Structure 1
């Protein structure tokens, strides 16, 4: 669980609603269903036009990573790699076959299987780096969907405001409706800017950071497995891989 993400959302709401209250505003004046439908629907629709379906669906699934990022235990994995190195030195690469079958992570399992099969270090590195590159590209592209949402949202908010002002202009004959009507019109602009800067853009940046962190984790695994295949001393492997631990 990413406590900072939860705290950031809470702080943003408290700051905006608290500031609104200090200025004498009411929460009810910021709750406009029509404005929200225009901004949210228009923004999502725009991104759907520019995004392939698999990428869009991937982005929606990844959204949870902002608050519940995948658990990556660098230290524990480093210890496992060193253990694999020790087993390989004592029993040979075939001694890792049982560990390979018990491994639950598909990426690591593939690397261990290549190691058990006696693949050369360059072969192991090449196969796993291709998969890493493809996965990183897919996840980064999905994360950029939120950049798109953040880019379109303010503009759609302006469209909503203009639509509201058109409605106000239609009621110029009734001055009592002008003030409230203009206020409601500008709520759409608030929604557009708030969604972009409080949610969509920060979510995109957080997801890209998570993707980078996952890639570093896999790079450490690749380096460890290739080092074992090259017959390096487990102690040297440990010292080398400690650079990945922050």
Structure 2
């Protein structure tokens, strides 16, 4: 579990609630279902309107990365590629077929299969680069739903505020109904701005970071397999790929 993400969410919520309490306000005044419905319902609807279904579903599934990030051990990957290069140097490219059967990553399996089949290094590079580009486009489109939500939610917060004020204006003759309308107006704005800046936009930025790391990992795999296909020395491969560790 990503502890800093959990701590960030808790700290943000505690800061808002504690600030409300220190100002002498009631915590219950922040809980307005009508305001929540306007902001969240409107935001989700707008995001769904601009997004393809497959990207929307993929973006929702990616949310788990915020608290359970994908494992990307670049040092272990480097050691694996060096081992493959050593085995290929000793027993030829067909020696890598044993590693193909135990590999679970589809991207690595495709590249390894091309190496075992004796494909030209440049052919392997082009195929894997196309695969990387396709992955990056799809992943960024999925992560963009959170960025879009961060853009829409403040607007729906303002919309909720306007609706609340309309309700107030319609009931000026009945003071007992003024409080509810004003509460919805201000709380809707809090929900819209707060959700955007404390959740939607941070989630989008963190997902982009993980996508970048995954792209770097795939580039490392592609460069390693091309180097192996070229029959280069394992030490040269290690020196070439060590730069990826700095990412």
Give the TM-score taking structure 2 as reference length: 0.97
Give the drift of 1:178: 2.8
Which residue does the alignment assign to 2:146?
146
Which residue does the alignment assign to 2:85?
85
Give the drift of 1:43: 0.5
Which residue does the alignment assign to 1:127?
127
**In 2 relative to 1, CA 132–187 (structure 1 residues): closer, same or farther, beyond 3 Å?**
same
* 5+ long unaligned stretches in structure 2: none
Supply the distance in 1 between the matched residues of 2:175 and 2:13 (Cα, whole angstroms): 33
For residues 221-244 of structure 1, give each alpha carbon's deviation from its aligned partner in whole angstroms, at most 9, with x where no partner exists.
001000011111101111111111
Which residue does the alignment assign to 1:241?
241
Give the TM-score taking structure 1 as reference length: 0.97
Which residue does the alignment assign to 1:47?
47
Which residue does the alignment assign to 2:157?
157
Supply the distance in 1 between the matched residues of 2:227 and 2:14 (Cα, whole angstroms): 51
Supply the distance in 1 between the matched residues of 2:195 and 2:132 (Cα, whole angstroms): 32
Supply the distance in 2 between the matched residues of 1:167 and 1:127 (Cα, whole angstroms): 60
Q: Is the 8 A contact 1:9 1:198 kept in 2?
A: yes
Supply the distance in 1 between the matched residues of 2:147 and 2:172 (Cα, whole angstroms): 39
Q: Is the 8 A contact 2:153 2:192 kept in 1?
A: yes
Supply the distance in 2 between the matched residues of 1:32 and 1:87 (Cα, whole angstroms): 64
Give the drift of 1:171: 1.4
Supply the distance in 1 between the matched residues of 2:41 and 2:76 (Cα, whole angstroms): 44
Give aligned pairs, total.
246
For residues 94-147 of structure 1, give each alpha carbon's deviation from its aligned partner in whole angstroms, at most 9, with x where no partner exists.
111111111111111111111101111111111111011001100011111111
Large movers: runs of 4+ above 4 Å: none
For residues 54-81 of structure 1, give each alpha carbon's deviation from its aligned partner in whole angstroms, at most 9, with x where no partner exists.
1111111111111111111111111010
For residues 182-224 of structure 1, give each alpha carbon's deviation from its aligned partner in whole angstroms, at most 9, with x where no partner exists.
1332101110111111111111111111100000000000010
Q: Is the 8 A contact 1:29 1:184 kept in 2?
A: no
* 5+ long unaligned stretches in structure 1: none
Partner SS state of residue 108, structure 2 = helix
Which residue does the alignment assign to 1:4?
4
Which residue does the alignment assign to 1:170?
170
Q: Is the 8 A contact 2:111 2:124 kept in 1?
A: yes
Supply the distance in 1 between the matched residues of 2:242 and 2:48 (Cα, whole angstroms): 42
Supply the distance in 1 between the matched residues of 2:143 and 2:180 (Cα, whole angstroms): 38
